[in-house]
Amino acid sequence: MSQGFSILVDTSRCTACRGCQIACKQWNGLPATETRQWGSYQNPQDLSADTWKLVRFADGVDSTGKVYWNFFSDQCRHCLSPGCMAEAEKGEIVQNEATGAVIFTPKTKDLGFKATLEGCPYNIPRQNPKTKVMFKCTMCLDRITNNQVPACVKSCPTGAMIFGERDKILDLTNKRVEELKKDFPNSKALNADEVRVIYVVKDDPKKYYEYAAGK
Amino acid sequence: MTNHYIDLKNSDCLLIMGSNAAENHPISMKWVMKAKEAGAKIISVDPRFTRTSSVADFYTALRSGTDIAFLGGMIYYIIDNNKYFKEYVENYTNASYIVAEKFDFKDGLFSGYNADTRKYDSKNWVFKRDEKGIPEKDPTFQNPRCVIQLLKRHYSRYTPEKVSEITGTPVADLLKVYEMYSSTGVKDKAGTVLYALGWTHHTVGTQNIRASAIIQLLLGNIGIAGGGINALRGQPNVQGSTDGCLLFHLLPGYLRVARASQPSLDSYINANTPTTAEPQSANWWQNYPKYSVSLLKFLYGDKATKENEFGYTWLPKAEDGKTYSWLDIFDELYAGRIKGMFVFSQNPAGSSPNTKKVVAGMAKLDWLVHTNIFNNETASFWHGPGMDPKKIKTEVFLLPAACSVEKEGSLSNSGRLSQWRYKAVNGPGDTISDGEMVSKIMLKLKELYQKDPGKCPEAILNIRWELLDDKKQFDSHKMAKETNGYFLVDKTLKDPSGKDIEFKKGDLVPSFAYLQADGSTSCGNWLYCGSYTKAGNMMARRGKEDPTGLGLFPNWAWCWPVNRKVLYNRASCDPTGKPWNPKKAILEWKEGKWVGDVPDGAWPPMSDKEKGKLPFIMKPDGVAFLYGPGLAEGPFPEHYEPVESPLAKNIMSAQMNNPVIKIFKSDLDKFASNDPNFPIVCSTNTITEHWCSGAFTRWQPWLLEAQPELFVELSPALAQEKGIKNGEKVVVSSIRGDVECVAMVTPRIRPFKIGGKTVHQVAMPFAFGWLFPKTGKDSTTNILTPGVGDGNTMCPEYKGFMVNVKKA
């Protein structure tokens, strides 16, 4: 396989404007789900068959008494060796050769949802309860194979998301982590060797989201 | 903004206070983050830890409504620790001016206060001047009556301990902010202030901003790249509408509304045209007659002649000293004195303070015309909560408006950048642009006045309306050209170098420097003169060149004035014209001319005693005001409590509230200060996901999905005290009413220690209402807010009022 593409999600630059969450819905023609205020800015509460990109909000107080509010723009990591594909023997889930995008096809209705979900370290796959078809981020395969960046990346005002060829994104990631370490020694890239959507965090990933760094 | 959005990247320290830039101006963060990556420090000061705070290098909280105390402490810190930029302060501000004997300040009040009229006589605040009228100065700063000494004395009361007692901000945090920010008071560092409604939504709003101006001047941060005082304004043309003349006391281009005491053009011009005896002052407002006569020529065309004072008498005159603000309008409605009303593109039933009074006022109208792109709580007020449609006689017309992408025209952003927008698509159904609506109304009015002239018909009949295209439709290009202005006769004038330059009748005026007071030019708004010229529509330019590398992009669209990106930019250089910071030089005097940004006037720098001019050209004496005798409350900002306060007395003085604010007296204007029934401070705010009252955005399913319902943010400590769990329904009450919403319990809000007692604060967005989505309850936050406004602008006090919270 070629190097393909990657996305750097630099959470230290994210201000949780949620442009990415809305842009994903818009480009992919996904309907809004009915939500209620539940004591959080995070809405919908979770990913679903109709929500493939979700900004997760986590606030708290650290050991020094300082307040933090971390944002985690969650989506499929497009793993190099996707765990979700373990049971997908009949092309239900495919990996696009040129880009590396992992794509759920309509045939996923024939896959066991539980096994697929368990195969994903990041808690990403979701199923339409009626049709049983599974859905998640496509890396905007239709855009990236037509010289366009993914919709979420396009919408980001602060440069928190950068799309490009994988080797270049890995370089950028390493540089960014080194820079951040000067002020935040716990900074790191999450599983950069295993995933195409690489998150950079400046603190314990659990303070962002339970599955930020995988199960 | 004195500067502009891209310029934020040039800053070394960004004080984001009174603004939640990340949530309300997300795109501004593009440049804030660029500054941060270049090593700048971000300071966020806000009662709540916000999305902006999450990327700040330092965050601290203050109680809503105590910004002047916070900033006053910083002013004292800067002076007391000699952190100010001496050369700048000495040359470019009135620090050395001697204030005359009548000025005084005692226990919260300046001299000249009249408690009956609730007004000051500002004659008590003047400078000492010599026989020629030139202000007396002490460049050594030793005279106890010189401005910097008075400033120091005034703010010596604002010790960190006292400030902390008022604001609730820990002393260590105050000192940290003061130290971080005042580090920019040197030649090669720039500090910028980003503010928004967090500063304006107070009864002391104008003085909040004045306090920041004093700090920026002390630190030499005005006129430089990466500096300035930067109001982040509402996206859909708030800047353009104020430039136009949205506000009740202004005509286009910040010219003043004519007053009843100014019956003649001469009296109007004399009252508004400042004079100076200072030889090196440009005193730009001396051009007031040119701009106002050119405006009259725009309005009345050939009907405006020298003999009839260019039609000045047809202009409506406002009563002296009377305000005609939003709050006043709805007070008049409620008193039954206004019969009909046009509301364009706003939702006062959701966005006005004390909305119960607003809606009760609208119910007394004979007719209400509302234009919008969706139905909202204003158009539907007559069947809202508590309303009986059978008893309401108001006839409501909802006109469908074209939205921003369905019409062509200019849009001015916070950085004064006017960008031309093309029409992308036709609006649906019968929608038309608001320009077309106003045009149709005007032409109909003319027709009606023609038939039945009534009183003073000239005011309508003589209005020139050359704004239609061949199909008799409103033409935004014609409007833009009229705004720019025309030569009305052939004219030979001098260009800045003194050479003759010839203009023909019908030529577009290339710059406001050529506008005339003799009726030979017209101009709808002098600030926009130069925006549409012989060279074409400057606002439609899309050049991407950036010769200085500082993000000026001089060929991208066009900004007022004269495409100058940074106001007062000659203050970025020393008195000989050398930039204070050569690494970020927006301007430099080289070989007899200014190079870089468009300079604030082509004159040489002030070290040229013959031709040189002082940099603050909009001030009569050419220097910036540390001491500012132009505002209603006095020359120095002073801390007063919000109209509703958790305290029994002002910790700073015997004067509890801003002494000049207007208090409305209707039965629906109720206030509860220091009242045990309403012990919690509340502020309203905007959220990223919705636009203002949500009238546009609640109909957008993805945005509604992201923020579906009204909530109140409260601290875990308050939640525990009240037995409230996260996500539970609660009722928030003020003396004006109750609102039900969802509790968001978060450590991002903490209680304050104020004057020795614990004071809780809560925060609520105002993006929801009863019309949609249907939750069965009235989610209009502004039921809670008090109808009281700032002492100068009447901007309502949406922030820092008193409530209670309990389980629903």
For residues B587 and B597, the answer to whether their CB atoms sit within 8 Å is yes
Q: In this complex, do A22 and B703 lie within 8 Å of one another by their Cβ atoms?
A: yes
Cβ–Cβ of B748/A37 closer than 8 Å? no
Does A1 score more than 60 pLDDT?
A: no
In single-letter form, the type of residue at position B726 comes to N
Contacts of B246 (CB under 8 A, 6+ apart): none
Contacts of B101 (CB under 8 A, 6+ apart): B128, B145
What's the pLDDT score for residue B132? 96
Query: What is the reported pLDDT for A44?
Result: 98
3-state secondary structure of A111: coil
Mean pLDDT over A169-185 rounds to 97
Predicted pLDDT at B709: 97
Between B147-155 and B67-80, two packed helices, what is the crossing angle to 10 degrees?
120
> Which chain A residues are closer than 8 Å to B702 by Cβ?
22, 25-26, 32
Q: Which of A17, A25, A39 is nearest residue B702 as measured by Cβ atoms? A: A25
Classify strands B417-421 and B409-412 as parallel, antiparallel or unpaired. antiparallel
Question: What does the H/E/C string look like for B491-546?
Answer: EEEECCCCCEEEECCCCECCCHHHCCCCCCEECCCHHHCCCEECCEEHHHCECCCC
Domains and CATH numbers, chain B: 5-231 (3.40.228.10), 284-412+417-540 (3.40.50.740), 680-807 (2.40.40.20)
Domains and CATH numbers, chain A: 1-215 (3.30.70.20)
Question: A52 in contact with B at a CB cutoff of 8 Å?
Answer: no
Alpha helices in B372-475 (DSSP H): 434-451, 458-461
Q: Does A185 touch chain B (CB under 8 A)?
A: no
Q: Are A32 and B53 within 8 A, CB to CB?
A: no
Q: Of A12, A39, A158, which is closest to B744 when you measure between CB atoms? A: A39
pLDDT digits (tens, 9 = 90+) for B453-493: 999 999 999 999 999 999 999 999 999 999 999 999 999 99
Chain B neighbors of A21, CB-CB under 8 A: 706
A39 and B748 within 8 Å at the Cβ level: the answer is no
Chain centre distance of CA B677: 34
Average pLDDT, chain A: 97
Q: What residues of chain A lie within 8 A of the CB of B51, using their CB?
A: 15-17, 69, 71
* Selection from A138, A136, A142, A196 nearest residue A164 by Cα: A196
DSSP H helices in B400-456: 434-451
pLDDT, tens digit, for every residue of B118-144? Answer: 999 999 999 999 999 999 999 999 999
Please give the distance of CA A12 from its chain centroid, rounded to a whole number: 15
**Given CB atoms, is A29 within the 8 Å cutoff of chain B?**
no
Radius of gyration of chain B (CA): 26
Of A21, A69, A70, the CB nearest to B706: A21
* pLDDT score of B745 more than 80: yes
Per residue in A192-214, pLDDT (tens digit) is 999 999 999 999 999 999 999 99
Which residues of B fall below an 8 Å CB-CB distance to A?
22-23, 26-27, 29-30, 33, 37, 49-55, 59, 688-689, 701-711, 726-728, 741-748, 750
- The average pLDDT across A29-51 equals 98
pLDDT value at residue B22: 97
A74-127: per-residue pLDDT in tens?
999 999 999 999 999 999 999 999 999 999 999 999 999 999 999 999 999 999
What is the distance of C-alpha A21 from the center of its chain?
Answer: 11
Q: What is the pLDDT of residue B562?
A: 97
Write the residue in A25, A60, A157 that is nearest to B30 by C-beta.
Answer: A157
Beta bridge partners of A61: A67
Whether residue B345 has pLDDT greater than 90: no
Mean predicted confidence (pLDDT) in B31-49: 97
Q: Average pLDDT of B515-536?
A: 98
**Facing B705 at nearest CB: one of A43, A59, A69:** A43
Residues of chain A positioned with their CB less than 8 A from the CB of B705 = 32-35, 43-44
Q: Euclidean distance between the first and final Cα of chain A, in Å?
A: 27
The answer to whether the beta carbons of residues B239 and B416 sit under 8 Å apart is yes
What's residue B237's pLDDT?
Answer: 83
Beta strand B737-745 with B711-714: parallel, antiparallel or unpaired?
parallel
Residue B502 pairs with which residues in a beta bridge? B492
Does residue A178 belong to the interface with chain B, where contact is any CB pair within 8 Å?
Answer: no
- Please report residues of A whose CB lies closer than 8 A to that of B772: none
With a threshold of 0.95, does the pTM exceed it? yes
In angstroms, the first-to-last Cα distance of chain B is 43
Residue B552 has pLDDT above 50, yes or no: yes
The answer to whether residues A170 and A6 touch, using CB atoms and an 8 Å cutoff, is: yes
Range name among A1-10, B151-160, B561-570, B721-730 with the lowest pLDDT average: A1-10
Task: For residue B700, give how far its alpha carbon lies from the nearest alpha carbon of chain A (Å).
Answer: 9
d(CA B91, CA A185): 45
- Banded model confidence at residue A2, pLDDT cuts 50, 70, 90: low
Q: Does A19 touch chain B (CB under 8 A)?
A: yes
pLDDT given at position B378: 98
| Contact: B30, A159; criterion CB under 8 Å | yes
Distance, CA of B643 to CA of B787 (rounded, Å): 10
Shortest CB distance from A60 goes to which of B706, B727, B747?
B747
Q: Which H helix or E strand runs over B64?
A: none
Q: State the Cα torsion B649-B652-B653-B658 to the nearest 10°.
A: -80
Residue B590 three-state SS = strand
Structure tokens at A127: 């199923």
Mean pLDDT of chain B: 97
Partner-chain residue, chosen from B29, B51, B707, that has the shortest CB–CB distance to A43: B707
How does pLDDT run across B224-250, given as a tens digit for each residue?
Answer: 999 999 999 977 689 999 999 989 999
A contacts of B23 (beta carbons < 8 Å): 15, 17
Contacts of B53 in chain A (CB under 8 A): 67, 69
Encode pLDDT of B618-648 as tens digits.
Answer: 999 999 999 999 999 999 999 999 999 999 9
Tell me the pairing of strands B729-734 and B680-685: unpaired
With CB atoms and an 8 Å threshold, state whether B55 touches A12: yes
Residue B723 vs residues A196, B683, B738: alpha-carbon distances, Å: 46, 22, 19
Residues of chain B with Cβ-Cβ distance to A34 below 8 Å are 705, 708
Q: Suggest the residue from A27, A69, A184 to mutate for an interface test with chain B (most B CBs closer than 10 A).
A: A69
Residue of A nearest to B21 (CA): A15
State how far the alpha carbon of A110 is from the alpha carbons of A119, A123, A138, B376, in Å: 16, 19, 19, 47
Share of chain A above pLDDT 70, in %: 99
Compute the nearest-CA separation of B689 from chain A (Å). 8
Q: Which letter does DSSP use for residue A32 in this model?
A: P
- Distance in angstroms (rounded) separating the CA atoms of residues A134 and A125: 7
pLDDT of residue B313: 97
B33/A158 touch (CB, cutoff 8 Å), yes or no: yes
The pLDDT tens digits of the residues spanning B177-202 come to 999 999 999 999 999 999 999 999 99
Judging contacts by C-beta atoms under 8 Å, the chain B residues touching residue A61 are: 747
When pLDDT is cut at 50, 70 and 90, the band that residue A42 belongs to is: very high
Q: How far is A91 from chain B (nearest CA, A)?
A: 32
Reported confidence tier of residue B777, pLDDT bands at 50, 70, 90: confident
Contact A158 B745 (CB under 8 A): no
Helix (H) or strand (E) holding A59: strand A54-61
Quote the crossing angle between the two packed helices B265-272 and B288-300, to the nearest 10°: 140
Is A163 near chain B, with CB under 8 Å? Answer: no
Q: Where are the alpha helices (DSSP H) in B54-137?
A: 67-80, 86-92
CA–CA dist B637, B526 (Å, integer): 31
